[in-house]
Amino acid sequence: MTRRLDPRRAAIAVAAPALAIAFSLLVTALVLVSTGDPIVSTLEQVWAYGKQPRVIALSINQGVTYYLSALAVAIGFRMNLFNIGVDGQYRLAAFAAAVVGSSFELPKPLHLFVIILVAMLVGAMWAGIAAVLKVTRGVSEVISTIMLNAIATALIAFMLREVKVDVAGSNNIGTKPIGPSGAFPSIPLIPESPLNVYGFIVVAVLAGVAYTVVLGRTRFGFDLRATGRSESAAVASGVDVKRMVLISMLLSGAVAGLVGMPQLLGGDSRSYSLDFPAGLGFTGIAIALLGRNNAIGMAVSALLFSFLDASSIILDINDISKEIVLIMQGTIVLSVVIAYELVRRYSVVADQRRVSRELAEDPPAPREEVNA
């Protein structure tokens, strides 16, 4: 059942991200030198701050949202669809879920179920617009999802004014808070941490497992991957590509709908306010690239990114610009894309060589068998 584990191939797969991270450390060090900041002590500070239980819990929470965002992007990537619209999809979904969820009370599991369902449906619907445009009019999903992001921003701002309530103790506005039955239970996962971990981590893990199983083990997943690898070959094999575009975009949007849920249902305010986190969809693209659309790879990448984010706060306190972390993340993504491509080319050539070498050493079966 399992794929033959090829240690050489596994080493190659890990080499690329490792090289990229090493390279980005080098670039970060150069930037630090140029700004006259000490390299070693800066990294030490980040590490010391980052390994506190509270910061670890914070990293994990941030990682959960990053991971869901990366999953949403990866579903598209596996089919060669560039869903840049995860950002607009999750924000609109979270807003709609907040409005719907605060409008009634239900027993806890049911209430949560309805809220999450609304979020997934709205996310799918928003992505579905791009899918329909692509399928019927051939509009590139890159363009349409970018536009839909902008439209989502304006739409939310407009609708928020219609339903707004003032957020206590600030001049912020937001939706009416969801009742206590809509709170997703949190888990005291990290010992000695005053901060609990989002219970939504369970949903994220399940989503990752479902992603792996559906793509790797089902006919649907095979069709999807085949379309991503070669659309022309998929068509010839009987895949209805338009249908696949529609379904995978809807799925991607539905998962995008989950991205805002840990914050909305696991946070303290349980409302969508002006300061609801934005831009997670773009982080998701970076993480999907770094994690190579692999469920585990993306989990590791999401945690790396969220750890860097959470621990960068110490830099500001010590008068070092925390944007250094953004430089580091950017360099990682940029160099990992290049590294993967180099590794891919290398392994294709290496594979070809290996095949011809093994064939030369190992003569094929005698001809009589062939023509028998």
Partner 1 sequence: MVANDDVNIVVGRGTVHAIVGENGAGKSTLMKILYGMQRPDEGTISIDAKPVSFTSPGDAIQAGVGMMHQHFMLADNFTVLENVVLGSEPTHGVGGVLDFGAARRRIKEISDTYGLNVEPDVLVEELGVGDRQRVEILKVLYRGAKILILDEPTAVLVPQEVDELFDNLRELKGEGLTVLFISHKLDEVLEVADEITVIRRGTTVATVEPDQVTARQLAELMVGSELPTPETRESTVTDEEVLTVDAVSVRSADGRVLLADIAFTIHRGEVLGIAGVEGNGQAELVEAMVGMRPLAGGTIFLGAQDVTHWPTRRRREAGIAYIPGDRQRHALLLDAPLWENRILGHQTEDPNANGPWIDRAGARKDTARIVSQYDVRTPGIDVLASSLSGGNQQKLIVGREMSGDPKVLIAAHPTRGVDVGAQAAIWDHIRDARRAGLAVLLISADLDELIGLSDSLKVILRGRFVADVDPAHVTPEDLGAAMTGAGEVREA
Q: What is d(CA 152, CA 280) in angstroms, rounded to the nearest whole number?
A: 14
Nearer to partner 1, 41 or 356 (CB): 356
Tokens 């409008």, located at residue: 103
Q: Of residues 221, 292, 337, 338, which one binds partner 1 by CB under 8 A?
A: 221
C-beta separation of 190 from 60 below 8 A: yes
Nearer to partner 1, 51 or 243 (CB): 243
Nearer to partner 1, 23 or 222 (CB): 222
Q: What is d(CA 45, CA 119) in angstroms, rounded to the nearest whole number?
A: 39
Q: What is d(CA 88, CA 151) in angstroms, rounded to the nearest whole number?
A: 8
Which residues lie closer than 8 Å to 244 by C-beta, 6 or more apart? Answer: 79, 223, 224, 227, 234
Exposed, middle or buried: residue 43 (CB in 10 Å: 0-12, 13-18, 19+)? middle
Q: What is d(CA 245, CA 232) in angstroms, rounded to the nearest whole number?
A: 14
Q: Of residues 32, 68, 72, 226, which one binds partner 1 by CB under 8 A?
A: 226
Query: Least Å distance between CB 233 and partner 1?
Result: 6
Q: What is d(CA 371, CA 354) in angstroms, rounded to the nearest whole number?
A: 27
Q: Does residue 220 bind partner 1 (CB under 8 A)?
A: yes
Nearer to partner 1, 4 or 161 (CB): 4
Query: Least Å distance between CB 363 and partner 1?
Result: 7
Query: Least Å distance between CB 294 and partner 1?
Result: 15
Site string for partner 1, 88-107 (x = CB under 8 A): --------------------
Nearer to partner 1, 206 or 348 (CB): 348
Report the candidate in 351, 353, 356 with the shortest Cα–Cα distance to residue 12: 351
Query: Least Å distance between CB 290 and partner 1?
Result: 20
Site string for partner 1, 163-202 (x = CB under 8 A): ----------------------------------------
Tokens 């609708």, located at residue: 159
Stretch that binds partner 1, among 57-65, 188-196, 236-244, 295-303 (CB under 8 A): 236-244
Name residues contacting partner 1, limited to 337-356 (CB under 8 A).
348-349, 351-352, 354-356
Q: What six digits make up the tokens of 19?
A: 């090289």
Query: Least Å distance between CB 224 and partner 1?
Result: 11
Query: Least Å distance between CB 209 and partner 1?
Result: 15
DSSP-based three-state secondary structure for 354:
helix
CA distances to 76, 198, 202, 291 from 57, rounded to whole Å, are 30, 9, 15, 21
Q: Does residue 232 bind partner 1 (CB under 8 A)?
A: yes
Residues that bind partner 1 (CB under 8 A): 1, 3-4, 6, 217-223, 225-226, 229-230, 232-233, 235-240, 348-349, 351-352, 354-356, 358-360, 362-365, 367, 369-371
